[in-house]
Chain A
């Protein structure tokens, strides 16, 4: 069963528009961790944020913000005033507690195209 769903395959916006990328997850664990990564065309996955299941505070980092809602099992990512450099594929991932490593369940990714 798919643990992380990113229903938006591809989104196109014009520069300076705000855009929200959706992520819905499923897990039976009470302790778990959620992550967002950015993958530009160069290929490297860049870590953006981690959130644990006990911390429902929303977070803002510059133009980026994240909305974690346990009630709806969602961890959405908003980019404010988007820029061309934000164009990339964005992955949401879930990790469940209990190992000496981190097994990610990735969503299928959302490709964001920001046009000038």
Chain B
């Protein structure tokens, strides 16, 4: 079982809907990440939170809005998405050092109708 839990596992939404992806870890990690992964591609970094502060936003469109309510939780709020946003969204966490591995969740498979 993964130590990073993502919900939901699957999500189908229309372009006008608002939904949220959730990620939770209880390993005491201080860095959390959102990735987008298209088929047959590597994960693409979207956001990094370090000590609950947004450290990296990789020029992600504003229709994706991250939130880190506390050190264990990470949300990704979705609004007015486009069909090309359909992908696997992965959450990861790591200890607060650049030499530590990231631990990934199972991901949310998102389909935009």
Which of A's residues lie within 8 Å of B, judged by CB?
33, 35, 37, 42-47, 50, 52, 91, 95-104, 106-109, 111
B59 at the interface (CB under 8 A from A): no
Q: Please, what's the 1-or-0 string for B6-43, where 1 marks a CB less than 8 Å from any CB in chain A?
A: 00000000000000000000000011010000001111
B92: nearest chain-A partner, CB-CB: A45
Contact present for A45 and B109 (CB under 8 Å):
no
- Interface locus among B68-76, B78-86, B95-103: B95-103
B55, CB-defined interface residue at 8 Å: yes
B42 and A101 contact, CB distance less than 8 A:
no
Chain A residues near B94: list those with CB within 8 A: 101-102
Q: Is the pair A45, B43 in contact by a Cβ cutoff of 8 Å? A: yes
Number of B residues near A (Cβ < 8 Å) is 31
Chain B residues with a Cβ under 8 A of chain A: 2, 30-31, 33, 40-43, 45, 48, 50-51, 55-56, 88, 90, 92, 94, 96-107, 109
B-side binding surface: helix, strand, loop or mixed? Answer: loop
Q: Which residues of chain A come closer than 8 Å to B102, judged between CB atoms?
A: 45, 47, 102, 104
**Contact call A43/B106, Cβ cutoff below 8 A:** yes
Name the residue on A nearest B42 (C-beta). A106
20 A-B residue pairings within 8 Å (CB atoms) = A42-B106, A43-B88, A43-B107, A43-B109, A47-B103, A47-B104, A52-B99, A91-B43, A95-B98, A97-B98, A99-B55, A100-B30, A101-B31, A101-B48, A102-B31, A102-B94, A102-B98, A102-B100, A107-B42, A109-B40
Contacting residues, chain B, for A50 (C-beta < 8 A): 99-101
Counting chain B CB atoms within 10 Å of each CB, which of A45, A91, A97, A108 scores highest?
A: A45
Q: Note all chain A residues with C-beta closer than 8 A to B30.
A: 100-101
